[in-house]
């Protein structure tokens, strides 16, 4: 077997694809190298839920035959990737990160896995996650069947939830890209904490067939990758109509950088207070530099306010009601008590008592939010804000279970109070993660610097189906910075 240079574990999709098609090494050699690395280092970060080495080698053998015969299927052909363990993979355990489902096996693949398979991508493993993607709210990072997600930049810190394994595996060079999910921050937070690029697509753009449901009206699947360019390539493959997902938007996505509007023609709404005051002191210099790099692209930054709504309370009510319905058999059977986090157990149980009127009120307020965001995006093209206000927290640090936890789902236990229709105006873009998920908006996370030795991320949010615009901003930003090329020294 040809030796795979260390740098290739951190290469982009395009770089690896070029070397594969030039036959500098085979897909089997690449798969063997990545599966060995995933099996060796995945447990170091509690990132690996299930190795799929034999399956990866078989798929790579098919890819080599296709390449030899000139059957090229696109840039993802032969590229090793991982999938969050809420995605079904036929004949293998899909645990949803939770002990009650440790032996769960499906006889079909999730749609996204089938779509990636069809273009020759090579799945090398299932990646760890917070149990039930955080449903019910959790207080500790250890709320997972595989243990707390550990950050490749500093293993005393959290990799973020609930897509902890997906972000850590990309950051540590264990996979070239990974599929994660978001209901309320579970792509944005781990990407920010681990210093990788990630994309939360518009609600309904990517099929969730074969994915664990946490909230029918909030769940989304999206890629973690090395660059905005890579995210666009992956999204093109996994997006599209699927009649097996009732929430499917029935739309495809084509990554078309050649047709994107020039970034200098775009207006970006932002709130200076997010970068100057709300950001943690150790992160402010890096965020200021990131704003400077955005200005260099020609992007026009204009001060903007979010519409005034009770984002956190509204999302909590919707998520609590829908997750309680989804997990009612688990709760009623008593198996919920097998979960690792006491706060999560209590939250799921409490969610069963949420009054229907609170859910309905939240859904009505949500519609008003969507209308106001449509008006906002008539004035600006994108919104820019920190992905998180500071770097990753320590693994043992308790998370606030009374509000949406960092990167996880909202705490259902605190969701029984009906949302108010007249909240106090939010400070800056406070609530943007909940707002973006409630309105179904896409968001791109871009590594943008460090606070100490830990990464920081920017979040660029757009109107529904504006992914090509977000990716254009991301490409221009990453052409002027190298934060997305940095890698952990201990990976």
What tokens does 52 get?
Answer: 């799929």
* CA dihedral sign, ordered 134, 139, 144, 146: positive
- Bridge partners for 461 per DSSP: 383, 443
Residues in the chain: 491
Q: How far is the C-alpha of 218 from the C-alpha of 431, rounded, in Å?
A: 15
Instruction: Reply yes or no on whether 227 is catalytic.
Output: no
Closest alpha carbon to 348 in 357, 339, 360: 339
Q: Residue 84: pLDDT band by 50, 70, 90 thresholds?
A: very high
Q: How far is the C-alpha of 327 from the C-alpha of 336, rounded, in Å?
A: 9
Q: Residue 365: pLDDT band by 50, 70, 90 thresholds?
A: very high
Q: Which of 88, 186, 207, 227 is catalytic?
A: 186
Q: How many CB atoms lie within 10 A of CB 44?
A: 16
Instruction: Reply yes or no on whether 207 is catalytic.
Output: no
Q: What is the pLDDT of residues 406-463, one digit of tens each?
A: 333 333 333 333 344 444 444 899 999 999 999 999 999 999 999 999 999 999 999 9
Residue 117 burial (C-beta neighbours within 10 Å; 0-12, 13-18, 19+): middle
User: Distances in Å between the alpha carbon of 16 and those of 11, 28, 96, 279, 439?
Assistant: 6, 13, 31, 37, 36
Q: What is the pLDDT of residues 327-336, one digit of tens each?
A: 999 999 999 9
Q: How far is the C-alpha of 44 from the C-alpha of 33, rounded, in Å?
A: 17
Q: Which of 26, 88, 159, 162 is catalytic?
A: 162
Confirm if 354 and 320 have CB atoms less than 8 A apart: yes
Q: Which CATH superfamily is domain 1-491 in?
A: Amidase signature (AS) domain (3.90.1300.10)
What tokens does 254 get?
Answer: 């084509």
Q: How far is the C-alpha of 41 from the C-alpha of 84, rounded, in Å?
A: 17
Does the pLDDT at position 405 exceed 90? no
pLDDT at residue 2 in the model? 59
pLDDT at residue 491 in the model? 58
pLDDT at residue 4 in the model? 85
Report domain extents, the chain: 1-491
Rounded to the nearest 5°, which phi and psi values hold at 282?
-70, -10
Q: Which of 26, 59, 84, 164 is catalytic?
A: 84
Q: What is the pLDDT of residues 267-279, one digit of tens each?
A: 999 999 999 999 9
Instruction: Reply yes or no on whether 84 is catalytic.
Output: yes
Rounded to the nearest 5°, which phi and psi values hold at 21?
-70, -25
């Amino acid at each position: 077997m040809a030796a795979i240079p260390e740098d290739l574990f951190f290469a982009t999709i395009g770089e690896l694809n070029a070397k594969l098609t030039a036959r500098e090494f085979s897909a089997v050699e690449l798969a063997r190298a990545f599966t060995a690395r995933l099996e060796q280092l995945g447990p170091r970060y509690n990132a690996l839920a299930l190795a799929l080495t034999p399956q990866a080698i078989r798929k790579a053998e098919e890819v080599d035959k296709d390449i030899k015969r000139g059957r090229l299927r696109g840039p993802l052909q032969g590229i090793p990737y991982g999938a969050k363990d809420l995605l079904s993979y036929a004949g293998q355990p899909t645990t949803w990160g939770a002990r009650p489902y440790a032996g769960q096996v499906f006889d079909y693949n999730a749609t996204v896995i089938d779509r990636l398979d069809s273009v020759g991508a090579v799945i090398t493993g299932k990646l760890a996650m917070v149990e039930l993607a955080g449903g019910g709210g959790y207080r500790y990072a250890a709320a997972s069947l595989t243990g707390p997600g550990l950050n490749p930049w500093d293993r005393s810190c959290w990799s973020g939830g609930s897509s902890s394994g997906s972000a850590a595996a990309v950051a540590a060079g264990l996979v070239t890209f990974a599929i994660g999910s978001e209901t309320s921050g579970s792509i944005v937070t781990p990407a920010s904490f681990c210093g990788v690029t990630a994309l939360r697509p518009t609600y309904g753009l990517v099929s969730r067939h074969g994915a664990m449901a946490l909230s029918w009206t909030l769940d989304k699947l999206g890629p973690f990758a090395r660059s905005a360019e890579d995210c666009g390539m992956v999204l093109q493959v996994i997006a599209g109509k699927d009649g097996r997902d009732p929430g499917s938007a029935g739309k495809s996505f084509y990554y078309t950088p050649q047709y994107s509007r020039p970034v200098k023609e775009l207006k970006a709404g932002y709130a200076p207070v997010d970068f100057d005051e709300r950001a943690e002191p150790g992160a402010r210099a890096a965020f200021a530099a990131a704003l400077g790099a955005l200005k260099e692209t020609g992007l026009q930054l204009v001060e903007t306010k979010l519409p005034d709504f009770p984002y956190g309370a509204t999302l909590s009510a919707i998520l609590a009601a829908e997750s309680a319905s989804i997990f009612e058999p688990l709760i009623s059977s008593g198996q919920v008590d097998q979960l690792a986090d006491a706060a999560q157990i209590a939250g799921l149980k409490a969610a069963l008592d949420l009054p229907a009127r609170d859910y309905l009120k939240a859904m009505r307020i949500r519609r008003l939010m969507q209308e106001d965001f449509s008006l906002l995006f008539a004035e600006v093209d994108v919104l820019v804000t920190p992905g998180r206000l500071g770097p990753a927290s320590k693994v043992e640090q308790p998370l606030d279970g009374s509000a949406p936890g960092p990167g996880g789902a909202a705490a259902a236990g605190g969701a029984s109070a009906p949302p108010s229709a007249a909240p106090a105006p939010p400070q800056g873009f406070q609530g943007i993660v909940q707002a973006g998920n409630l309105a179904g908006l896409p968001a791109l996370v871009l590594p943008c610097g460090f606070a100490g030795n830990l990464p920081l991320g920017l979040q660029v949010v757009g109107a529904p189906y504006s992914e090509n615009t977000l990716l254009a901003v991301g490409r221009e930003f990453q052409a002027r910075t190298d934060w997305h090329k940095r890698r952990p020294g201990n990976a």
